[in-house]
Structure 1
Amino acid sequence: MIGKNSSNGVYLGKNFTLIENFDPLPADAAEQTKAALNTFAEKHPDLNHFFLLVPNAISVTAEKLPPYAPVLIQNDYINSFTTGLNEKLTVLDPRPILEQNQDQLLYYKTDHHWTTLGAWLSFQGVANAMGIKPDPDAYTVYPVTHSFSGALVSKSGYLSFATDTINVYVPKNEESYSVVNYVEEQKKSSSLYDSEQLKGKDKYAVFLEGNHPIIKIKNPVANGKNLLVIKDSYANAFIPFLTPFYSEITVIDPRYYYDSIDALIADAQITDILYLFNANTFFRDTTLEPVLNDD
C-alpha cells in the first residue's frame, strides 16, 4: 500500500479513475537501453529512426490523483532519456497535444492504456516530424464495447463502478484496408481489429489481437516505404493510423521477439524504424537492449 488511496501500485483517483503509479528501475537500466539505441542508430545510418515515448495518465492527468500522492515526476525521466539520444534518432513528443486535450478521455479509467482518441491525437501531434500529413477526417469512429473493465481493476482490487468504452477508427476510404499476417501463429486477417477479443476479459486486445512476437501488415500503398515498429502494447492502438503511409509495416515486441533484428531489417527492406513505448513500461523493462544488441 502506498497510502489509503492506493493499492498494489494503483491510485484511486477522482471519479473512480484508476491510475497506475510510475515506478522506474534504477537509472543504470535506462542508460543501458539508451546506449543500445544510440549504437543501433549509428549502425543503421541509412534508416529513418523515430523514437516515441508516451507519457502515462499519472503525468498527463495528474490532477485526477488523490491529494498529496507521493509520485515521481515522469516528465523528468522522459526529458532526461530523450535529451541523451543520438541525433540520428528523431524524438517524437506527444506531450504538447495530450496536455492541450486534457479535458478529453485520453486514458481509460480502468486500464493502464491510452484510449484510441489519445493515440489518434498523439499521431496527429507527431506526424509532421515523421514526414506524414494525416487527414483529420479520414476515419469514422465506432464504439465496439461499453463494458471494458481494464487490468487496473484486478491489479488494485478496487471495485470500480465505471466501465470504459473502446472506440475503433475505421477508414472512410473502403480501398484503404490492410492485410495482417500474424507470422508465428501462421494466421492472416483482413482487419486490424479482432472483434472476438471483445468477448474476453482483455478487450484492449481488439487492437491487433494483443501482443505478438512479430506481425507483418501489408497496405494498399505503393510508395516503397517499409516501417519497422519496435513497441509495447501502447502501439497497438497507434499502428492503424500509420497504415496509409507505408507499403508494409513490420511490428515486433521485444518482450517476445528472439530472432535477428538486422536480418529482419534486410529481409523486409526496412526504410524507417519507429520505437514506440509508454513510459511506465519503458522504464521498468530491459528487453529492448538485448534485441538491439543481437550481434
Structure 2
Amino acid sequence: MEKTVYRKKSRSPFPAPLALFAALLCGFTLLNLFWPKRELSELENRKLAQMPAFTVKSFLNGQWQKSFATYWQDQVAFRDGWINLESAVNSLVLGKTEESGILLGDDGWMFTRLFTVTDSAKAQLEKNVNAVCSFASRYPGRVTFLLAPSASVIYPEMLPDNAPMVDEDAMLDEIFARVGEYADVMDLRPLYRSAKDQDLYFKTDHHWTPNGAYLAYTQFCERQGLEPFDRNSHTAIEVEDFYGTHYSATRRWNARPDSFEYFDLPNPMTIYKINGEAQYEADRTETMVNTDKLSTRDKYGAFLDGNNGYSVIEGDGEGSILVVKDSYANSFVPYLTANYAKIGVVDFRNFAYGLDSTIEAEGYDQILILYNFQTFLSDSHVIYIDRPTTLK
C-alpha cells in the first residue's frame, strides 16, 4: 500500500497582511518626502515647523529628534484631511463638545471656554479696572467705556449642556459699577438680548460681526446725541466663506462659514510709526479696509488693516475722538467717520506709552475705551492707559 506523504507548505517570511502594511508604510514615507512643504497653515492660523538644522550637539541631547518629529507631523501629506477626520471622529464617535479650549455648541456655534478665572487673571482685571478709573477721573465727562459681553452671555442656550461657564454677568455688573463712577458706561446686554436674532457675533470666530458693531455704535450715538451712519445710503459689499479663529482651533468637521458686509468708504487712514511718547512718523496712508486681506483666512483683519499702535482717520463730521481698543473696535471705528472730523485709534499691544501727552498734543475732545470682556479680563497692556506722561 502506497504511503501518503504530506509535505509542509513553504511560507513567505512575511505574511501577506504584514507585507501589505510594510508596503503602505514605505509608500507613505516616500510620499511624505516629496510632498510639498508649507510654511503656514491658513486653516490652523499658525506657522508650520520646518526641517531643523542638524548639529551633533542637538542630536546627542535629543533636541533634534524632537524638532524633527514636530516637523514630520506638521508637514505630513494630506494634513488638513487628517485633522478634519480627527475632528469628525471626536464629534460623532466620542461625542466631544470641546476642542482646543473652544466649546462646540448647537447650530454651529463655537464659544471660548471660560470655566474659571485664575488668580493671575483676577489680579490683572483689578489692575485694569483701577487703571481705567484713574484715567477717566482725569477727563471728567469725556470718557465712554464700552465692554462688549461674550457671545456666550447673549446666546447661553447655544452652549453645550451644563457647560459651567463663569458668571460673566456678575463680573460685568461689578466692573460697570466701579468704572461708572468716573466714565459713561455702555452696557450692551439689554440691547443685544432684545436683538439676538440679528447675527451679532460670528459663529466661527471670537469677534462680533460688523452688524453687531453697528448696533453698539447706534447706542453710542444715542448717548452722545449724534446722528448714526446711514447704512441705507451706502452700498454694502458682502464677504463670504469666512472661517474664523475658533474654527482654526477646532477644525470642526461640519462647520459652516460665516459671512459679513462692509462699506468701502473713501476716508483716508494714516498709520504711524511710534518713535517715542507722542512722537509719531507717518508710515502709510490707506483706506480703512485692506481688501487684500479679504482673500486670506484672516478676513476680519482687513478692518483698520489689523491692530496698529496708532492710526488717525479723517472723518466727515466735527470734533475729534480717540478710540482705545482691542480688535473688537476694528469693525466699529469706520462708522465714526460720519460723526467726527478726526478719529485717533490706539492699540496698546503696539503702543507702549500713556495717553495724556497724545491727548494734549492732538487735542482729542472725546475718548472711547472699547474692549471685549475676555480680552479686558487678562490683557496686561490695558494698564498703559494710566501711565504718567514723561514729557516736560
TM over 0.5: yes
In 2: Cα distance, 1:89 partner to 1:136 partner:
27
In 2: Cα distance, 1:42 partner to 1:220 partner:
30
- Indicate the structure with greater strand content: 1
Per-residue deviation, 1:35: 1.4
Per-residue deviation, 1:256: 1.4
Pick the aligned partner of 2:314 from 191, 215, 218.
218
- Given that 1:9 and 1:21 are in contact with CA atoms closer than 8 Å, whether structure 2 keeps it comes out as yes
- Given that 2:154 and 2:196 are in contact with CA atoms closer than 8 Å, whether structure 1 keeps it comes out as yes
Q: Is 1:186 aligned to 2:278, yes or no?
A: no
TM-score, normalised with respect to structure 1: 0.89
Per-residue deviation, 1:137: 4.8
- Given that 2:108 and 2:256 are in contact with CA atoms closer than 8 Å, whether structure 1 keeps it comes out as yes
Alignment of 1:144-223 (within 5 A): 144-169=238-263, 177-184=266-273, 186-189=283-286, 191-221=287-317, 223=318
Alignment of 1:6-45 (within 5 A): 6-22=98-114, 24-26=117-119, 27-45=122-140
Alignment of 1:55-134 (within 5 A): 55-85=149-179, 87-134=181-228
Alignment gaps of 5+ in structure 1: 172-176
- Given that 2:247 and 2:255 are in contact with CA atoms closer than 8 Å, whether structure 1 keeps it comes out as no
Per-residue deviation, 1:161: 2.8
Alignment RMSD? 2.1
In 2: Cα distance, 1:227 partner to 1:213 partner:
16
Per-residue deviation, 1:138: 4.7
DSSP 3-state at the match of 1:255: helix
Per-residue deviation, 1:51: 0.1
1:54 alignment partner AA: A
Per-residue deviation, 1:38: 1.5
DSSP 3-state at the match of 1:183: strand
- Given that 2:289 and 2:304 are in contact with CA atoms closer than 8 Å, whether structure 1 keeps it comes out as yes
- Given that 1:141 and 1:167 are in contact with CA atoms closer than 8 Å, whether structure 2 keeps it comes out as no
Deviations 1:16-61 (A, max 9, x none): 221112354533322211111121122233x610000001111111
Deviations 1:158-178 (A, max 9, x none): 33431111211356xxxxx42
Equivalent in the alignment of 2:36: none
- Given that 1:227 and 1:249 are in contact with CA atoms closer than 8 Å, whether structure 2 keeps it comes out as yes
Question: Relative CO higher for 1 or 2, CA cutoff 8 Å, sep ≥ 6?
Answer: 1
> For residues 160 and 252 of structure 1, do their structure 2 counterparts lie closer, same or farther at Cα, with a shift above 3 Å needed?
farther
Deviations 1:128-157 (A, max 9, x none): 212323155555453432111111112224
Pick the aligned partner of 2:384 from 275, 290, 293.
290
Percent identity, aligned pairs only?
A: 28
Equivalent in the alignment of 2:38: none
In 2: Cα distance, 1:80 partner to 1:157 partner:
36
Pick the aligned partner of 2:372 from 251, 258, 278.
278
Per-residue deviation, 1:217: 0.5
- Given that 1:257 and 1:291 are in contact with CA atoms closer than 8 Å, whether structure 2 keeps it comes out as no
DSSP 3-state at the match of 2:353: coil
- Given that 1:21 and 1:58 are in contact with CA atoms closer than 8 Å, whether structure 2 keeps it comes out as no
Pick the aligned partner of 1:248 from 342, 349, 353.
342
Pick the aligned partner of 2:142 from 48, 56, 62.
48
1:115 alignment partner AA: T
In 2: Cα distance, 1:139 partner to 1:152 partner:
33
Q: Which of the two has higher C-alpha Rg? A: 2
Per-residue deviation, 1:290: 2.7
Per-residue deviation, 1:86: 5.1
In 2: Cα distance, 1:291 partner to 1:65 partner:
34
Per-residue deviation, 1:64: 0.9
The worse-fitting range, judged by mean Cα deviation, of 20-29 and 147-156 is: 20-29
1:220 alignment partner AA: D
- Indicate the structure with greater helix content: 2
Alignment gaps of 5+ in structure 2: 1-89, 274-281
- Given that 2:117 and 2:166 are in contact with CA atoms closer than 8 Å, whether structure 1 keeps it comes out as no
TM-score, normalised with respect to structure 2: 0.68
> For residues 106 and 40 of structure 1, do their structure 2 counterparts lie closer, same or farther at Cα, with a shift above 3 Å needed?
same
